[in-house]
Chain A
Amino acid sequence: MATVSLDCLGLKCPQPVLKIAAKSAELKPGDLLEVIADCPTFEKDIRQWCDRTKKTLLWIREEGGGKMRCQIQF
């Protein structure tokens, strides 16, 4: 089970979810993807993306300065 990081800082909607969709091809069931982003709609988008793709959003939190970090289980 691998943990992969993805830096989406500076990317605006819809780029973070596009990067996550592209990255998902490399991940196997059980792998963890940790994403940091500062797009204002990131939380809404990532919740919708996980819902649509049946992935588990383990947690999402604010890190100050408009940054959000989350972890997704594949």
Chain B
Amino acid sequence: MAKRLTIDPITRLEGHGKIEIFLDEEGDVKRAYFQVPELRGFEAFCVGRPAEEMPRITPKICGVCPTAHHICSTKALDDLFKVEPMPAAKKIRELMYSAFMLEDHTLHFFFLGGPDFVVGPSAPPAERNILGVISRVGLEIAGKVIKLRKECRDIITLIGGRVIHPVCGLPGGISKPLSEDDRLRIIEVAKSGVEFARFALKIFDDVVLKNPEYLDFVTGDIYKHETYYMGLVDKANKINFYDGDIRISMPDGKEFAKFRARDYLEYIGEHVEPWSYIKFPYLRSVGWKGFVDGKDSGIYRVAPLARLNVSEGMATSLAQDEYEKMYETLGGKPVHNTLAFHWARLIEALYAAERLLELAQDKEITDSRVRNIPTAVPEEGIGVVEAPRGTLFHHYKTDRNGILTEVNLIVATLNNSAALCMSVEKAARSLIKKGKVSDGLLNMVEMAFRAYDPCLACATHCLSSKPSFLIKIIDSKGEVIRTFG
């Protein structure tokens, strides 16, 4: 009775992927694969271009997290041209980045991951989406979500120059200063952002933590892996999205390594499998041991829960309170439960809103000196930021004319690629028994990857030439009046 189950396309993620589940003669799961079947090869066609074009080229990898690529690329150019940005420029970059993190984390909770909890993991697929969330939480709350995201996008547009793909970053600074009027306006948005993030945490508390069934999912073994973790921290080992050192913690929570972005290749290797276009990064000194967790396997995880696990707290007070509550509820550090990524993401959203407010309240941010002139001959530059989905590296090498000769992008989701496979396979093995499969069970397998908020467009730097789904508009008589895709 051997059987093959395919979920294609998987849904509520950025990019495209599929899951293949192979059952044995008993109907139990023999193997399950989380596959990324498309490749664009972004690094290859960047070679030969002027390095200074990279902050405008690389954001096109993705329509969801272009701000992360833009800022990371700009930081790589700071390093390449050996120029230190002016203090106000750094603050404006981080301010825009904080608005981006708040907006992006909100997107995931309400549009992508949240429907599994708010509507229910086994609810009909037609309801397990943002419209289902709206029907449960009400139009007023839905309006708040949309308003907050718009206001954050307006900040990104104001500073970045464009609504989707920013163009403001320059080696040594930023293209224009922030006006006093805009600073005051951003303060108001940030204040409402703080309130909104607290409200989102309350929804998580009400919907997930107070529901014994969901709490069992979060704390149970189906969605759990003991791995290493990686994330950026500041000098006090607090979470920082924009800058700092990279810290890796062991499965028992102890510090494994702390290093500068420049040294990342000493720590991270990349493994390749024939069945996926995505690569599998691992810790070099521990080694690649296959898709297994534990101290002896070099697989590590990134993104919200990983960042909280590697840090010694949040740099803002309200987020710190929530950080302490999470670890107290889940039994202390580190937390290995994959579904706790959702909780950590909302704590980070609160931190992003508080940081946005801090930066907007800093009057020095309106200093008109926002650009340092680069003077050095370019050779090699490395930039790093914490993207919503994890640690993002841009690494460029150029000739003496600043023309790119080598490009390496370790994109946030890529760091989680091995963990994604492990999580999907473990969930499939735990949930599918004796050939009994339902739509709800398959969605619960998908929940294993959705917690990571993967962006497979970024991870393979991929843009499919054809859509993987159809959109039909049906009139009141049930007739299809228009089809897209």
Residues of A within 8 A of B (CB): 13-15, 17-19, 21-26, 45, 48-49, 52-53
Contacts and interface: CB of A to CB of B under 8 A. Distances in A.
A18 B400 contact: no
Contacts of A48: 373
B53 to A, nearest CB: 9
Q: For this complex, into which size category does the number of interface residues on chain B fall?
A: 10 to 19
Interface of B: 50, 52, 81, 170-172, 175, 371, 373-378, 400-402
A22 B170 contact: no
Given A21-B81, A26-B400, A14 B375 contact: no
A24 B371 CA distance: 21
20 contacts: A13-B170, A15-B50, A15-B52, A17-B373, A17-B374, A18-B50, A18-B171, A18-B378, A18-B402, A19-B402, A21-B374, A21-B402, A22-B378, A24-B375, A25-B400, A26-B400, A45-B373, A49-B375, A52-B375, A53-B375
Contacts of A17: 373-374
Contacts of A19: 401-402
A14 B400 contact: no
B170 A21 contact: no
Contacts of A26: 400
Given A21-B81, A25-B400, A26-B400, A14 B377 contact: no
A contacts with B: majority SS: helix
B377 A24 contact: yes
Contact of B81 (A13, A18, A52, A53): A18
A15 B52 CA distance: 7
B contacts with A: majority SS: loop
A48 B175 CA distance: 16
A37 B376 CA distance: 20
A18 B78 CA distance: 12
Given A21-B378, A22-B401, A52-B375, A14 B50 contact: no
A33 B371 CA distance: 24
A18 B377 contact: no
A14 B378 contact: no
A14 B376 contact: no
B403 to A, nearest CB: 9
B100 to A, nearest CB: 23
Contacts of A24: 375, 377
Contacts of B50: 15, 18
Contacts of A13: 170, 175
A19 B171 CA distance: 13
Nearest to B398: A22
Nearest to B170: A14
Q: Top 4 nearest A-B pairs by Cβ distance?
A: A25-B377, A22-B402, A48-B373, A53-B375
A57 to B, nearest CB: 13
Contacts of A15: 50, 52
A49 B371 CA distance: 12
Contacts of A52: 373, 375
B481 to A, nearest CB: 45
Contact of B377 (A21, A45, A49): A21
B375 A21 contact: yes
Nearest to A26: B400
A15 B55 CA distance: 13
A5 B378 CA distance: 20
Contacts of B401: 19, 22-23
Identify which of B50, B172, B373, B374 gathers the most chain A CB atoms within 10 Å of its CB.
B373
Contacts of B172: 14
A13 B378 CA distance: 17
